[in-house]
Every structure is written in structure tokens, then in C-alpha cells.
């Protein structure tokens, strides 16, 4: 039976913060710091059946160090992929682990080294998987933590998105012209249901605001059914959110996003203007929106606050680099820069220390870990569109630090906590 949908996204927190045990018991600030490692793998999980899953990985060839033993041999890179799988319930019980080393010959064609590893994961369970990629030639590591969700056969990880050559695509965000192919491990019908949402979510309130936001009631703008075939081509023709399901009884499924043709970059006047809202009062921002040519409004804003062109260029570079990385790290049902974590990442920069559990993140700014300058706590929200939505526990005490940071930007200086 086909059901109409009403998705209610609770974008506010109820109750108080509490810690839960985690396999991650160390500072993981490197997760959101692009300069913490020289290699930056991408991962995606796909459930093959009730007992077996696999993760695909993609490593840019340009980030690997190739060496030759002799003039006759081809230059080779040596990569090790290691994983450890833990039950999600927080008791640190490891259920599976493995390690594999790969030798990659240098060539001018391959842009990314893509492969996969199988691991054992049972249906109805959730796990945390720790994946370590090591460039063994220079002993450079990258560590990532992912949630493995087999709690339902309808979760997004039972889907796999590929190109026409069946190569996995390591993103849920696509432009309007990219051709994608959707695979499902255990589909029992010959159809997929597509729910399209053309919803623009409001920006997060400042971190000191205690006003409870209203839940966002999200109804599909349109719903349609398509025949299922792994050979059927699909495009995200319009901007918005596409929720793809095998059964409309549940709200679970695969969600894909079209945030614009250049996402996660900021290279259009409209995109450059939007994050400035964090630095402005409402009336000031509305005046900037009135400019017929938005680029003029953006340039005027930065030049007036910086005082000269060179300083304005420096501010622009750092501000929009942070916004771009916020898109890369924090995209959920909305663009990464417009989430709670994205807002703080742009204004305050990457945190010095992060403690992460399966359901929480704690960000610490400052060089004194015992008495940090600022501490922000986030709780993971349960929603059908993404498992990457963390909402800030707001506090009135954040007002002083927030206004200090905004004033610093407005006075032509990049804000950062003193080291």
C-alpha cells in the first residue's frame, strides 16, 4: 500500500546531555582538520546480506608517495587498510578486525585507488567501525569512525550509488547532470519510490539562544515510482532532497541531495553571501540581499570590515575555506555550513580537542585541556535523511565568546583562540 508521508524533523534538543561509553576515548580533532593528514580517503558502507557487509574506500593517487627500488621498476606506493568493528552499545566489544596491504603502480590515468574489504556484521545490529589508512612509504595515517547500521533492511547502507561502470560514488550530494545508478542488496520488489523535497531549512540560532525552535514539518513536494533496475540511470534534475525507498511503510531509505552544481564550493555570488548572515544583524543582511549584483554586496561587506583589499582577501580566503570544509564534514539534511557544527566551525575555526561517542561530540577550544576556554556539546539526532546531524546544547554563557568572535571578524581580523 502506498502511504503519504509527513516527516517531522526535530531540530531542537529535549533533555540534558549525558556521556555514553565509546570505543573512541582520545582526542579526535583530526577528524575535522584537513591538515592533520596528508592522505584523505573517502569511505562508503554497503550491506551485502544479513551477515556480511563491506566498505569501499577511495584514496587520491596524488596524495600517495611513489618510490622506485631501481630504474627498471615502476614507481610504487604501499597502502595498508586496517579496520576494527565494535558493537554500538558502547561496551567496547570488538567483533571483527582485519588488515590488508595494497601495492599501487603509478600511472597517469587512475585518479583514485578504489577497492573494498568485507567484514562480518549481523542483521538487526549497529556497530562502530574504525578504519585506518596508512601510506606505508612515509608512515602517514588517516583514521575515520563510521556507524554501521543494519538495524533495518531499509537503511541507507543497503543502497549503493555507482556510476555507469559500477564504480561506487563516495558522496550523497550530486549536481543536476551527473548520471547515477542505484543498487540495493535485498530488494524484494521491482520498484523504487522517490520522495522529492524542495525545502530550505532555516539557519541555526546563535549558540547562546535558548529560544526553542519549532520542529520543521517536512512534506514531500512530489512522490513518484520508478521501475527498479541496477542499469537504470537517474539524475537529480532539480535542487533539493531525494529520499529513495523500497517500501513506503517505513521512513528509512537512501537520501541524495542536489545543493547546486558546484557544491561544496563557494563560487557564486549567492553562495558567497549566505554565510555572511552569521556576522550581521538582520537588517544589515537584508540590505546586502537587495543588491542587484550580489557580488558587489559581498565585496563591499568584506572591504568595509577589512579596511583594505589585501586584508579583505585574507579574510575571504579563511572564511570560505572554513565554510567549504563545513560542507564536507557536516552535511546532513541541510548544507554543512548551515548546521550547528558548521556555524561554530566557520566562526571559531577547527576545535583544538574533540571527544566523540556514538551519539555525542564535545568540542573544546583553547590550549588548557583541564580548564578549556570554551566547550560545546552536541547530540546526534535521529532522523530519516542523515546520520550526520548533531545539534548543539545551547547556553547563555556562550554569548560573550560569540560576540567577541563576530567583532573580531568585523574588525578585519580572523578569529582564533590563543594558543
Name which CATH class applies to 7-19+37-258.
mainly beta
Q: Taking a C-beta distance cutoff of 8 angstroms, is the pair 80, 99 a contact?
A: yes
**Residues 101 and 136 sit within 8 Å (Cβ to Cβ):** yes
- Residue pLDDT, tens place only, 294-316: 999 999 999 999 999 999 999 99
What residues contact 168, with CB distance under 8 A and at least 6 apart? 44, 46, 56, 58, 114, 160, 161, 162
pLDDT at 1 over 50: no
Instruction: Encode pLDDT of 239-290 as tens digits.
Output: 999 999 988 888 999 999 999 989 999 999 999 999 999 999 999 999 999 9
**pLDDT level of residue 107 (50, 70, 90 thresholds):** confident
Beta bridge partners of 234: 180
Q: Phi and psi for 158 in degrees, rounded to 5?
A: -85, -5
> Helices then strands (H, E): number in the chain?
6, 20
Q: What angle do CA 190, 194, 197 make, to 5 degrees?
A: 175
Instruction: Answer whether 114's CB lies under 8 Å from 50's CB.
Output: no
Which sequence spans correspond to the domains of the chain? 7-19+37-258, 269-410
Mean residue pLDDT of the chain comes to 89
Percent of the chain residues past pLDDT 70, beyond the cut: 90
Question: Does position 12 have pLDDT exceeding 50, yes or no?
Answer: no
Provide the grid cell at 72: 627498471
Partners of 270 in the β-ladder: none
Q: Burial-class residue 180 by CB neighbours within 10 Å (0-12, 13-18, 19+).
A: middle
- Which tens digits make up the pLDDT trace of 341-374? 999 999 999 999 999 998 999 999 987 655 568 9
pLDDT at 216: 63
Using alpha carbons, select from 130, 133, 142 the residue that is nearest to residue 31. Answer: 142
Reading phi first (left if > 0) and then psi (alpha if -120 to 50, else beta), residue 339 is in beta
* Cα gap 99→82, rounded to integer Å: 4
Q: What is the CA radius of gyration of the chain?
A: 22
pLDDT of 176: 95
Residue 195 has pLDDT above 90, yes or no: yes
pLDDT class of 66 with cuts at 50, 70, 90: very high
What's the Cα-to-Cα distance from 138 to each of 60, 64, 112, 135, rounded to whole Å? 16, 9, 19, 6
Sign of the torsion angle spanned by Cα atoms 14, 17, 20, 25 = positive
Q: C-alpha cell of 93?
A: 566489544
- pLDDT per residue over 18-56, tens digit each? 444 455 668 999 999 999 999 999 999 999 999 999 999
CA distances for 359 relative to 25, 92, 267, 364, angstroms: 14, 14, 34, 17
DSSP states of 275-330: GGGGGS-HHHHHHHHT-SSHHHHHHHHHHHHHSSHHHHHHHHHHHHHHHHHHHHHH
pLDDT category, 214, cuts 50, 70, 90?
A: low
Provide the b/e sequence for 241-265 (b: ≥16 CB within 10 Å): bbbbbbbbeebbbbbbbbbbeebbe
Pairing state between β 240-245 and 254-258: antiparallel
Residue 103: the pLDDT is: 94
pLDDT of the residue at 370 = 56
Q: Is the pLDDT of residue 233 over 70?
A: yes
Cβ–Cβ < 8 Å for 28, 138 = no
Is the pTM here over 0.95, yes or no? no
Model confidence at 15, in pLDDT bands (50, 70, 90)?
A: very low
Q: Is the four-CA dihedral 64, 68, 74, 78 of positive or negative sign? A: negative
pLDDT digits (tens, 9 = 90+) for 380-419: 998 889 999 999 999 999 999 999 999 999 999 999 875 4
Amino acid at each position: 500500500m502506498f502511504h503519504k508521508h509527513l516527516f517531522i524533523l526535530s531540530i531542537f534538543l529535549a533533555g540534558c546531555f549525558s556521556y555514553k561509553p565509546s570505543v573512541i576515548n582520545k582526542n579526535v580533532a583530526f577528524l575535522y582538520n584537513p591538515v592533520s593528514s596528508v592522505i584523505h580517503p573517502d569511505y562508503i558502507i554497503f550491506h551485502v546480506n544479513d551477515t556480511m557487509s563491506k566498505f569501499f574506500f577511495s584514496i587520491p593517487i596524488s596524495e600517495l608517495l611513489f618510490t622506485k627500488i631501481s630504474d627498471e621498476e615502476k614507481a610504487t606506493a604501499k597502502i595498508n587498510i586496517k579496520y576494527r568493528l565494535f558493537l554500538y552499545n558502547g561496551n567496547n566489544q570488538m567483533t571483527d578486525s582485519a588488515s590488508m596491504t595494497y601495492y599501487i603502480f603509478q600511472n597517469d590515468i587512475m585518479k583514485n585507488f578504489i577497492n573494498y574489504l568485507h567484514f562480518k556484521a549481523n542483521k538487526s545490529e549497529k556497530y562502530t567501525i574504525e578504519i585506518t589508512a596508512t601510506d606505508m612509504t612515509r608512515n602517514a595515517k588517516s583514521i575515520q569512525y563510521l556507524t554501521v547500521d543494519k538495524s533495518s533492511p531499509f537503511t541507507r547502507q543497503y543502497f549503493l550509488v555507482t556510476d555507469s561502470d559500477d564504480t561506487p560514488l563516495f558522496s550523497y550530494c550530486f549536481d543536476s547532470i551527473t548520471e547515477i545508478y542505484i543498487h540495493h542488496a535485498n530488494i524484494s520488489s521491482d520498484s523504487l519510490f522517490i520522495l522529492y523535497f524542495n525545502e530550505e531549512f532555516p539557519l541555526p540560532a546563535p549558540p547562546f539562544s535558548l529560544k526553542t525552535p519549532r520542529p520543521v514539518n517536512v512534506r514531500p513536494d512530489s512522490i513518484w515510482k520508478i521501475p527498479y533496475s541496477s542499469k537504470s540511470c537517474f539524475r537529480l534534475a532539480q535542487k533539493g532532497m531525494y529520499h529513495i525507498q523500497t517500501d513506503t511503510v517505513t521512513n528509512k531509505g537512501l537520501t541524495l541531495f542536489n545543493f547546486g552544481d558546484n557544491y561544496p564550493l563557494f563560487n557564486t555570488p549567492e553562495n558567497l553571501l549566505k554565510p555572511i548572515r552569521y556576522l550581521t544583524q538582520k537588517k544589515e543582511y537584508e540590505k546586502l540581499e537587495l543588491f542587484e549584483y550580489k557580488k558587489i554586496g559581498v565585496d563591499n561587506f568584506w572591504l568595509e570590515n577589512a579596511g583594505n583589499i589585501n586584508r579583505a582577501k585574507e579574510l575571504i580566503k579563511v572564511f570560505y575555506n572554513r565554510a567549504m570544509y563545513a560542507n564536507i564534514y557536516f552535511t546532513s539534511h541541510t548544507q554543512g555550513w548551515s548546521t550547528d557544527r558548521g556555524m561554530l566551525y566557520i566562526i571559531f575555526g577547527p576545535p583544538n580537542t574533540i571527544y566523540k561517542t556514538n551519539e555525542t561530540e564535545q568540542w573544546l577550544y583553547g590550549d588548557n585541556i583541564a580548564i578549556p576556554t570554551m566547550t560545546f556539546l552536541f547530540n546526534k539526532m535521529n532522523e530519516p535523511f542523515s546520520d550526520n546531524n548533531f545539534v548543539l546544547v545551547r547556553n547563555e554563557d556562550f554569548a560573550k565568546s560569540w560576540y567577541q568572535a563576530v567583532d573580531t571578524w568585523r574588525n578585519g581580523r580572523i578569529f582564533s583562540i590563543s594558543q
